[in-house]
Amino acid sequence: MRRLVVVALLVSAFMVIASAGTANASVKWPARCSNFKCVNAHLNALHAAQKKTQANLNGFLNCIGLAPMTEYSHYQADDGVTSLFALDYTASGDSIDAWVVGIPGGTCGFPGVAAVAPHVKAAPVPFFRFYRP
């Protein structure tokens, strides 16, 4: 029984390893490469694609900003009486409840100021539409 389990594990591991190389490959290895020049050209193309992907990823990661947030109490509601809890930037020395991930305005091609659409006389669009049969 123990030998059967070991053989089954070896066979399944071999199948996983054999299929792992082609599962996520976006560029297929040229089956007709018969000389070094062909192999070298293919490896250079793979390297260039990897460098481009890495540059895109680094550019995206440089756009991301992090901000510490904390839940504070005693925010006044519009009525001036009701006390609310709210998230705000964490003050110095306070514990951090959450980190907010975002892209700061004015960076990475995103606008720094909100562009308000010109006012057009049109019927307001309700948030929920209730249809009558």
pLDDT digits (tens, 9 = 90+) for 63-88: 888 889 998 888 888 888 888 888 88
Q: Are residues 94 and 78 in the same domain?
A: yes
In the predicted model, is pLDDT for residue 9 greater than 80?
no
Q: How many CA atoms lie within 13 A of 62 on its CB side?
A: 9
Q: How many domains does the chain have?
A: 2
Alpha helices in 1-133 (DSSP H): 2-23, 36-63
Token output for 76: 């006044």
pLDDT at residue 123, rounded to an integer: 59
Q: Give the model confidence (pLDDT) of 97-118 as tens digits.
A: 999 888 877 777 777 776 666 6
C-alpha 99/C-alpha 69 separation (Å) is: 6
Residue range of the domain that includes 98 = 65-102
Tell whether 71 and 97 lie within a shared domain: yes
